[in-house]
Structure 1
Amino acid sequence: MKKHLKNSIAAVAMLAGGATAALADQTYTLDPMAVSTQSAGGGLFATQFGAPSAIIAPKNTGFVAAQLVDPRGGIKGSDKDGDISFGYTLGNPVSGVGVMLGMDITSVKADKDFGDSGSFSLTLSRMLHAGPNSVTFGAITGSGLGGWGSQKNNERASAYVTQMRFYDMGGKTLPVMWTLGYGQDAKYVGNGTSTKEDGFFWAFGVGATDFMSVSMSGTENQANFGLGFRIPGVDGLSMSLGQYDITNNTNRTQTALSVAYSMKFGK
């Protein structure tokens, strides 16, 4: 099990960037990204869709992610749109504090002003406990920092805990991860409104095959479903496909496709 615990910390792959919250209007996710336990050795891996994870990539890891959503903001009749995110990690969340810096560019449609909106994000992560078959991390995130365009004066904060556990399934190790957190503008107040309020968010993910994981996430009044994919033969490249508000409880059903690439620079 120690090998898999090491992989969960040192072989993290980004599947989605931090701009999703602004673009998809899913602000409870704050800095949504999926985390993978994939390693060079393959095997089952777990991801999360639609919620942040307190387990961040090891230091000196950079990533770029692009996402397409339809419809924009989950508003029926709106056009599809995309965003681009960049990030870099510093520090050591095991022995100290890990830091993830992000820049999010929202709205990348060619017929509009590219990059006319965006913001920065900052996540601080720390390992809270390591057991024989599990590891638990805590994190705090500030998003919408230094925003411009439609993201100006849209600062938000959240705090959350993520645990990764590994189960022996008779020859294969099954990874399972969950997250529970509380954040500003975490949920919609009522059906069909754009008003939001602070609240709890959650996520659960489990490895399904060597190349796919399954996850769910949500708040008190909304549920999301997503799949995470490992791309065979290309280290650091991954994808996710999912849908927000799968029951349309808040009239914000939206499909999201993400592609990301991460690379470690130095030790």
Structure 2
Amino acid sequence: MAETVSVGGLRGWALVAASALLPSTALAQGAAQQDLLGLLQALDAASRPSANVTMQGIGSGTVAPGGTIFGSISGTDKRVDTGGDDVDGSLSFGAGFGDAATGIGMQASLNVTSVEDRDFGDSGFLSLKFGRRIGDPDLNLHAAIGFDNVATWGDASDNSVETTVALTKFGHLGGSWGKPYMVTLGVGSHARDDDPGLIAGFGLGLTEHLGASISYSGDYANIGLGVKVPGVKGVSVSLTCNDVFDEEDSRRATLSLSFALRNAFGLGG
């Protein structure tokens, strides 16, 4: 979360300076005023807190910046494998390496799928993901390929490696003054009934702390809300309704608490 500064004082000083320096001719004065207006708009945009852009239910074309550690704990009101109404949960911890802006970024995560007291940690898998920013920085387009079940243990031992390739574009609706958004489109090797299928999603930043998303994970649609915890840097809570239309008879609510800590290893990103 970037620090912001107030530009109210800067506006006043800029106007005073501009009034003393504007050329005398009308044409030059108009051009200078446009330059000043552009400067003030840029200052105002820089001062606004960035809205919380979020995506739930699918992966994205981004990887964690190098030097970042992250983790989450999630709980759902229905077990996916049995269809029962028992509460289920999972844990995930990982780290980012490299620089996706200038080379190849990588993230590795350890996912624990058994969190009950009697068998805590006895089932899970390792995930790896590689990504890179594509094209001009202003395009803000990212691509990644991810592999789940690279290594497995416990109940996950029979799982085959699952691959996902995704593109994610960031932007603002209506230009730089609009709400920030992210769009993801990709293909998963096991996305549709364990066969290859398309995934897609759209996330929109509504306020500094609140974001919403809708996604399609190959078999069903998901909707979600993400909230940055005010005053706690890098911590967020998300609530997702998976299989929102009950297409697979697996509609469920998932609540997650996540954190991300930048520059954890002094590697910067």
TM bucket by the smaller chain? 0.7 to 0.9
CA distance in 2, matches of 1:259, 1:41: 26
Cα deviation, residue 167, structure 1 = 3.6
Cα deviation, residue 136, structure 1 = 0.4
Cα deviation, residue 222, structure 1 = 1.3
Contact in 2 for aligned 1:48/1:216 (Cα 8 Å)? yes
Name the residue aligned to 2:216: 218
CA distance in 2, matches of 1:40, 1:198: 44
Amino acid at match of 1:98: G
Structure 1 position 201 matched with structure 2 position 206: no
Amino acid at match of 2:130: L
Kindly provide the CA deviation profile for residues 14-41 of structure 1, in whole angstroms up to 9, marking residues without a partner as x. xxxxxxxxxxxxxxxxxxxxxxxxx996
Name the residue aligned to 1:81: 88
What is the TM-score with the length of structure 1 in the denominator? 0.77
CA distance in 1, matches of 2:140, 2:183: 11
Cα deviation, residue 116, structure 1 = 1.2
CA distance in 1, matches of 2:56, 2:91: 17
- Which SS does the other structure have where 2:179 is aligned? strand
Cα deviation, residue 75, structure 1 = 4.9
Cα deviation, residue 150, structure 1 = 1.4
Amino acid at match of 2:76: V
* Contiguous gaps of at least 5 residues in structure 2: 1-45
Cα deviation, residue 130, structure 1 = 3.0
Larger RCO (CA under 8 A, 6+ residues apart): 1
- Which SS does the other structure have where 1:115 is aligned? coil
Indicate the larger mover: 70-79 or 246-255.
70-79
Kindly provide the CA deviation profile for residues 186-242 of structure 1, in whole angstroms up to 9, marking residues without a partner as x. 023xxxxxxx32211111101112211110111454111000111111111111101
Relative to its length, the structure with more strand (as a share) is 1
- Which SS does the other structure have where 2:206 is aligned? strand
Structure 1 position 150 matched with structure 2 position 148: no
Structure 1 residues 220 and 121: CA distance shift in structure 2, 3 A: closer
Relative to its length, the structure with more helix (as a share) is 2
Q: For residues 65-144 of structure 1, what are the structure 2 equivalents within 5 Å?
A: 65-73=72-80, 75-110=82-117, 112-130=118-136, 132=138, 134-144=139-149
Q: For residues 225-236 of structure 1, what are the structure 2 equivalents within 5 Å?
A: 225-236=223-234
* Contiguous gaps of at least 5 residues in structure 1: 1-38, 189-195
Name the residue aligned to 1:49: 56
Name the residue aligned to 1:260: 258
How many residues align? The count is 219
What is the TM-score with the length of structure 2 in the denominator? 0.76
CA distance in 2, matches of 1:153, 1:79: 23
CA distance in 1, matches of 2:170, 2:73: 26
